[in-house]
A and B are shown apart, each in its own frame.
Chain A
Amino acid sequence: MQIVLNGDSVECVAGSSVASLLVTLEVARERVAVELNAAIVPKADYEKRLLADGDKIEIVHFVGGG
């Protein structure tokens, strides 16, 4: 299935959860925030939130800024 990840259309294994996507991407969950279809996914829900075809997902973190 296809998802839109940080603005790019990417292939994703069907049945992936937010947690498994982060593992695949090698992204540490403690330091990020995830938005799925414009709604925040609380960290506690990463395992149970499954991704569906066409989902828009944003993964953000802190960078240098003023």
Chain B
Amino acid sequence: MNSADPFIIGGRKFSSRLMVGTGKYASFEQTAQALEISGAEIITVAVRRVNLDRSKESLLDYIDPQKYTLLPNTAGCYTADDAVRTCRLAREAGMSDFVKLEVLGDEKTLFPDNEELLKAARVLVAEGFTVLPYCSDDVIVCKKLEDIGCAAVMPLGAPIGSGLGIRNPYNIRIILENVKIPVIVDAGVGSASDAAIAMELGCDGVLMNTAIAGAQDPIAMAEAMKLAVIAGRLSYKAGRIPRKLYANASSPLDGMIS
């Protein structure tokens, strides 16, 4: 299925539609194992100061940057200026134009500040970045991000790390019907069924971190998410039956014994 149904983003072709974060794991070994089992090809990372006092051991000692497409984020940025600055540093550190742009509005909800997000997106697209913005599940914002030239839109399913699932599937459907660029649900997924629901809605991909890293068994959950994304995509492509209020027998009525 994967070879016939490639996931193209920023002009690059991927076979996995599951994108995963690398934060909150118990160890770098566990991070590497979960990534491997998830089958993800695109993984997010954060940009932070090098710790000059402690161990020089880093994430990249455990993860082969040749094997994965690193997607640096702007987590923790509350202004367009900070986000743009972080993206420029990320490009210099990683030698890639891919960035997950997030500009937060509030510490409690971690909801996007859409005004600052649009401002940052304009600057970054003009500077040649491949911008994947984390945004509200709002079709107007998504259309503006598309018009600016973003490579995808990544509406939230629910607040970051909340595990509440896809809270407004109708908003996601409206976004899917109105933008032509890939739609990736980013944030809110808690379990495999949430990931499958996102894919069954017709989303092009799902991005998650806490749902895997915070699970009691992150390695098992990484596999569950891989399968859920594949199952959800197949189910979407296969075309589900219409919902009906009354029963419709599966066995023939002819030939019944009397």
Contact = CB atoms under 8 A, between A and B. Distances in A.
B24 A59 contact: no
Contact of A35 (B45, B89, B94): B89
A40 B59 contact: no
A60 interface: yes
Contacts of B94: 62
B56 A43 contact: no
A17 to B, nearest CB: 17
A43 B215 CA distance: 39
Contact of B45 (A6, A34, A43, A65): A65
B70 interface: yes
Interface in A2-19: 5-7
B88 A66 contact: no
A32 B46 contact: no
Contacts of A66: 21-24, 44, 46, 73, 75, 160-161, 208-210
Contacts of B85: 35, 38
Interface in A27-66: 27, 31-35, 38, 40, 42-43, 58-66
Contacts of A65: 21-23, 44-46, 73, 75, 209
B50 A32 contact: yes
B142 interface: no
Given A25-B52, A31-B60, A64 B22 contact: yes
A64 B92 contact: no
A19 B167 CA distance: 50
B56 to A, nearest CB: 6
A62 B52 contact: no
Contacts of A60: 47-50, 89, 93
Nearest to A42: B92
Contacts of A40: 88-89, 92
B47 to A, nearest CB: 5
Interface of A: 5-7, 25-27, 31-35, 38, 40, 42-43, 58-66
Interface of B: 21-25, 31, 44-50, 52, 56, 58-60, 70, 72-73, 75, 85, 88-94, 160-161, 208-210
10 contacts: A25-B50, A26-B56, A34-B92, A40-B88, A59-B50, A59-B52, A60-B47, A64-B25, A66-B73, A66-B210
Q: Nearest 6 CB-CB pairs, A to B?
A: A65-B46, A66-B209, A66-B21, A33-B92, A33-B93, A62-B45
Given A64-B31, A66-B73, 17 more contacts: A25-B52, A32-B93, A33-B90, A34-B92, A35-B89, A40-B88, A59-B49, A59-B52, A60-B89, A61-B47, A61-B50, A62-B59, A62-B94, A64-B24, A64-B45, A65-B22, A66-B75
